[in-house]
């Protein structure tokens, strides 16, 4: 667990290309549970699980690399970051009504305060910041 600038890193986990998101979600839920206090099934934790699933799946479906999940918390927000070695920046397509996929980043946009992509020499990191409270 790292701390700095009011941010506490709760989880850092590397995953293999094609690995399912479920074990990562379980680890993240366990790490976030203390932050929920009296609300162990808080809705915001479910939102974080959705973001983790979508970002990890994107690495598996759209890159040929392994990835790394980092979950950090600071007062009022959770930061989810998923890095991979691909330099291709994800796009938010406009899928047709009959297309089964292509809505993950739109879903992340809808439930997060903000999200984006940070490029780095090793590839990129897609991140999302979510509120640590129930949505109204």
> Is a pLDDT exceeding 60 seen at residue 101?
no
> What SS3 string covers the chain?
CCEECCEEEEEEEEECCCCCCHHHHHHHHHHHHHHHCCCCCCHHHHHHHHHHHHHHHHHHHHCCCCEEEEEEEECCEEEEEEEECCCCCCCCCCCCCCCCCCCHHHHHHHHCCEEEEEEECCEEEEEEEEECCCCC
> Is a pLDDT exceeding 80 seen at residue 134?
no
Residue with the bigger pLDDT between 99 and 9: it is: 9
pLDDT given for residue 22 in this prediction: 86
Burial class (CB in 10 A: 0-12, 13-18, 19+), 56: buried
Whole-prediction pTM: 0.84
């Amino acid at each position: 667990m790292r701390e700095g600038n009011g941010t506490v890193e709760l989880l850092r986990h590397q995953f293999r290309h094609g690995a399912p998101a479920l074990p990562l979600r379980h680890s993240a839920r366990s790490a976030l549970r203390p932050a929920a206090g009296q609300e162990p099934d808080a809705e915001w934790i479910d939102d974080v699980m959705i973001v983790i699933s979508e970002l990890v799946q994107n690495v598996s479906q759209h890159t040929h690399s392994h990835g790394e999940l980092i979950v950090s918390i600071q007062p009022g927000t959770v930061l989810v970051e998923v890095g991979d070695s691909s330099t291709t920046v994800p796009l938010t397509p406009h899928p047709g009504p009959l297309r089964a996929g292509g809505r993950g980043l739109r879903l992340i946009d809808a439930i997060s305060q903000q999200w984006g992509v940070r490029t780095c020499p090793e590839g990129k990191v897609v991140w999302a910041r979510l509120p640590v409270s129930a949505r109204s």
